[in-house]
Structures are given as C-alpha cells and as structure tokens.
Amino acid sequence: MKILSQQKAPIMEALNKYKKMRVVPFDVPGHKRGRGNEELTAFLGENCMTVDVNSMKPLDNLIHPVSVIREAEDLAAEAFGAKHAFFMVNGTTSAVQAMVMTACKAGEKIIMPRNVHRSAINALILSGAVPVYVNPGVNKELGIPLGMAVADVEKAILENPDAKAILINNPTYYGICSNMQAITDLAHRHGMLVLVDEAHGTHFYFSDELPASAMSVGADMASVSMHKSGGSLTQSSLLLINNEVSEGYTRQIINLTQTTSGSYLLLSSLDISRKNLALNGQEIFRKVGQMAQYTRDEINKIGGYYAFSEELRNGDTIYDFDTTKLSVHTLEIGLAGVEVYDILRDEYDIQIEFGDIGNILAYISVGDRRLDLERLVSALAEIKRRYSQDKSGLFDHEYINPQVVYTPQKAFYALKETLPINDSAGRIASEFVMAYPPGIPILAPGERITPEILQYIQYCKDKGSFMTGTEDSKIEHINVLKEAEK
C-alpha cells in the first residue's frame, strides 16, 4: 500500500480551491453561498455557508467517490488501519445499520450483546436479521452491564453455527471493553464476521495506552463516531471495513438509505479531523487521559462517589477499560445518577453526557479546560454536601435479561394493539422503551413485558430519566402484539 501524506485534507483543499474560482452557482443549494438567506448566514457565519455546496466534478460525489472524497477516504483508511473507510453523513446509526445489513440478510442470525445501542436493533427491524443475544456480564455493585464473556460467546456460536456475524461494543458507553482479540479469533474460526460498534472508541486508534481497536485485532467492520472523541461535526461518522468484506457491496448497502446530497460541512469535518488525529492524536489523547485521571482522583477524594477505572478489569467481561471515560457511581450518596445529572444542569450550569440509575458519565475531551474540571469536581462535592441522603430504597441494578419471543422485525410490523403500559405485563412488546441517553433498550420489539420491567420503567420515570421509544410520547401506553398473533 502506498504511504499517503496524512498532512493532506483533500476535501478541505478542494473546497478552498473551489471558493477561489468564484464559480457562479446555478445549482442547489438555493441559498447560493448564503446570499439568499441572510438570517441563517448571520447566524452560522459566511464561511460556513460558502462551503455548503452540491456534489460536482471538482468536489466528487459521496454516492460514488472517485476523486477528492475517494482520496480522503483512502487517507482515513490508512489512518485507522482499515482496508477502506466510508465517510458517513447520517450518524453512526447509519454505519451500524450498514454493517448489520451488509453482513446479514433477512432471516439470518447475528450474535450480539443485549446492551447494544438502539441503532443495532433498528438495523434488525430494517433487515429482518435475527438476534441471538448474549447476556453481558453485570457488575452488581455498580449496576452496569459489562462486556461479553468469551465463554458465553463461544456457547452462542456453538449453539448457532449458522449465525453470520457477531456484533461487539468497543467500548460500552461506560468505557468497558470485551476481549476483542479472543472474540474476533473465535468468530473467525467459525466463519463469522466480526462487526464492532465503536461509537465511543475513535480514540483507540490513536493511542498506545488505550484498549485495542477493532481494526487492530482483525475485526471485519467497525462503526466509528468521529464526532464524539474525534472532533468532527455532529452526525459525521466512519464505517471501516477490513479483510474480505466487499467495498462495492458495502457501498451499495450504504446507498440504500444514505442521502444523495452528502453535506460538505460534515465531509470536510471528517477530513480535517482525520488529519488532526493522524498528526496529533497520540498527544491529544494522552492529555485527555491525564485530565480524566486527575478528575477521577479528585472525585474519589470527595468520598461517597466512586469514579471507577481500570481497577475493575477482570480478564473477561471487563477485559479492558477506556481510561478517558469519566464514569462515576453515585448511589452511595443516596442519589440516582440521573438525579445528579439534573442537579448539575439545573443548579450548577454543568451539562454532562448522561445519568442513569446508578451512574453519571462526564465526557472529557481535548476541548476541556482545567478550570472546568475543577468546577465539575466542586459541584459534585457541593451536591454531596447539600443533597446526600440515605441510600436505602434505591434500585441497584440496571440489566434485566430479556425474554425474546419474536424477531424485532416481525414484532414491529405485526398486528398490534395499544395498552396502558401498566396493564401490559405478560404481553409482547412491538416497540422500544428506553432511557435516552444512553439509548440502550429496556424493552425491544419482540420481547415479553414482565412486572419487573414495568417496575423498572416506572422507577426510571420517577427519577426523571428522559424516556423514549414508544409511539405514545408520554410512555403511558405501549403497542403490544395482538393475542391472536402470539
């Protein structure tokens, strides 16, 4: 493979060149470099509007890249150690869906942990693939789902030798990694593809000190949220492929659902961010790791909170830990994570990534300043002083084993009826229920509703979690399969 210069940013360079040509636009977009929409231009800035342009010969075309987008994708592939990298403009959600649909056709099996993001199960609704769930390990003390045990994956593989692929989170939202190398090797021995959701793992590709990335262990496909730790614009993402996965077929799958008007704001942000990561990533993530560690130590000094890290490693379900993640267990001060999340925002003007039942997650990045970290730590100290209470009565676990009755696609499109959610125990859900973030379904289509699940949903609502997934936006009713369908 020829060594490319990571100093280059072909899409940005082509846009700069195009601007200098002062081309008269008789094409879309109709705002014509912003002149046709003064208020929007004033709000977003002229620089931004002048590069919001259409696909054209000098700027290539996302649905079939042959010049500058192709070059930028090649550079990204090199930087991430992949055979090819696709630029995605419809979020990592679309990358995850493209992975699943590339690997599995309707009726084919895919092995995955149940604590996947909703986008993975949505992919099953779209494709008709059949999930085989591996229960993730659970840390009882922290109430968080972990990675998959290698033995559990092996059992699933042996019981489902016809499965086409296995999907792995690397890492989970909380920063927990499965044994990627062992699971990848195992899957490959049984002729299965390894698909990896790396929505929270972009930085693994640019640090020697962090857990292994999907491409580095020889996985076949990975969805990488460049817009999270990679610094690109929201909604931009990468789909990486490796080994024998066909570039042409994957592109066809992507083009089933991806826009034909790919945004050059998003594309150039991927290009420029890849350049920055390739040139400065090691240094950037070393700093981020140091900031996270400093903050973790300071939070642990407060007492009561537990900012956990790699000491949790157990060689299997917590094979590795992403030390740039700042996850904090809050139940010991008598507050649910989501309560701390709300107090931080309402009282202290501090917005963190999410709070669930037992934990909060603060996202640390190269954009953080030391003084902001001090604010977070001090606010947590204050919350403990002002709000801590007896911890009895707090729910202590998060993961409920699902009873899967139908595939997500069958359940979603089946004849259904709407019931008040509290009268739905025993029935089969036709839709999702989840707290968002983190977006890991409590119930997915095709799963049996149990009293335990209803109690848990009620508890999440009471604690102020933002619930979503059902057709009824208030989550007071739920669509279930008609009895006749059972």
Partner 1 sequence: MNFWFVENHSPNVKFSMRVIEHLYTGKSEFQKIDVLQTAEFGRVLTLDGYVMVTEKDEFIYHDMITHVPMATNPDIKKILVIGAGDGGTVRELTKYDRIEHIDMVEIDEMVVDVCKEFIPQTASKLDDPRVHLHFEDGLKFVRSHENEYDLIIVDSTDPFGPGEGLFTREFYGNCYKALKEDGILVNQHESPFYEEDALGMQRAHKRITGFFPVCKVYQVHIPTYPSGHWLFGFASKKFDPINDLNADAWNQLGLQTKYYNTDIHVGSFALPNYVKEQLEDVE
**Interface residues with partner 1 (CB under 8 A)?**
298, 301-302, 347-349, 370-371, 374-375, 377-379, 381-382, 385-386
Phi, psi of 47 (to 5 degrees): -55, -40
Q: Rounded to the nearest whole angstrom, what is the least distance from the CB of residue 293 to partner 1 in the complex? A: 15
Nearest Cα neighbor of 146 from 110, 123, 179 is: 179
Q: Rounded to the nearest whole angstrom, what is the least distance from the CB of residue 363 to partner 1 in the complex? A: 19
- Taking the least distance from each CB to partner 1, the nearer of 105 and 385 is 385
- Taking the least distance from each CB to partner 1, the nearer of 349 and 390 is 349
Contact 328, 306 (CB under 8 A): yes
Q: Rounded to the nearest whole angstrom, what is the least distance from the CB of residue 367 to partner 1 in the complex? A: 15
Q: Rounded to the nearest whole angstrom, what is the least distance from the CB of residue 346 to partner 1 in the complex? A: 10
Amino acid at 227: H
Amino acid at 156: A
Query: How many helices (H) does the chain have, and how many strands (E)?
Result: 14, 20
Q: What is the DSSP string of 53-82?
A: ---BGGGB-TTS--SHHHHHHHHHHHHHT-
Decide the pairing of beta strands 109-113 and 130-134.
Answer: parallel
Q: What is the DSSP string of 165-231?
A: EEEEESS-TTSEE--HHHHHHHHHHTT-EEEEEETT-GGGGG-SSSPPPTGGGT-SEEEE-TTTTT-
Q: Rounded to the nearest whole angstrom, what is the least distance from the CB of residue 374 to partner 1 in the complex? A: 5
- Taking the least distance from each CB to partner 1, the nearer of 296 and 416 is 296
- Taking the least distance from each CB to partner 1, the nearer of 158 and 371 is 371
Strand partners, 419: 478
- Taking the least distance from each CB to partner 1, the nearer of 33 and 375 is 375
- Taking the least distance from each CB to partner 1, the nearer of 39 and 349 is 349
Q: Rounded to the nearest whole angstrom, what is the least distance from the CB of residue 245 to partner 1 in the complex? A: 48
Q: Rounded to the nearest whole angstrom, what is the least distance from the CB of residue 381 to partner 1 in the complex? A: 5
Task: Find all residues with CB under 8 Å of 252, minimum gap 6, and list them.
Answer: none
- Taking the least distance from each CB to partner 1, the nearer of 303 and 315 is 303
